Amino acid sequence: MSYKLRFVQKFEQKNTDAFVELERKFAEFEKMYPEFPKGKRYFPYIARDPQNTLIWEAEFDTLEQLIEAKRFLENDNRHEELFQQQVKYFVESYTEIYKSFDE
């Protein structure tokens, strides 16, 4: 069974450029450092959420791997420094965890 970790971050439309620039730095971390969880980023095109929402998601084989990745992101200083720059643009943020529908 696989699991998906999803971070949903809504920001004010007027801050799109600054928010996206910081998110690009997070993406660079994922490329530069093998220990960083690798995720995909999405903006809603046609969805329930407005276009000023960023969705980051990654899949994991086990719930334990997902929890380990989440802990890593919460405790890594490089990630935290960048997060503190970006969080000031948040209007709303939440985390979702999904498990696969395996029959």
Instruction: Report d(CA 92, CA 78) in Å as an integer.
Output: 22
Return phi, psi of residue 34, to 5°: -65, -25
pLDDT for position 76:
94
Q: Give the residue-averaged pLDDT of 13-38.
A: 96
Name residue, tokens 């993406």. 27
For the whole prediction, is pTM greater than 0.85?
Answer: yes
Dump the DSSP string for 36-60: SPP-EEE--SSSSS-SSEEEEEEEE
**26-82 pLDDT, tens per residue?**
999 999 999 999 999 999 999 999 999 999 999 999 999 999 999 999 999 999 999
* Band (1; pLDDT cuts 50, 70, 90): confident
**74-95 pLDDT, tens per residue?**
999 999 999 999 999 999 999 9
What's the Cα-to-Cα distance from 5 to each of 8, 69, 88, rounded to whole Å?
Answer: 10, 9, 22
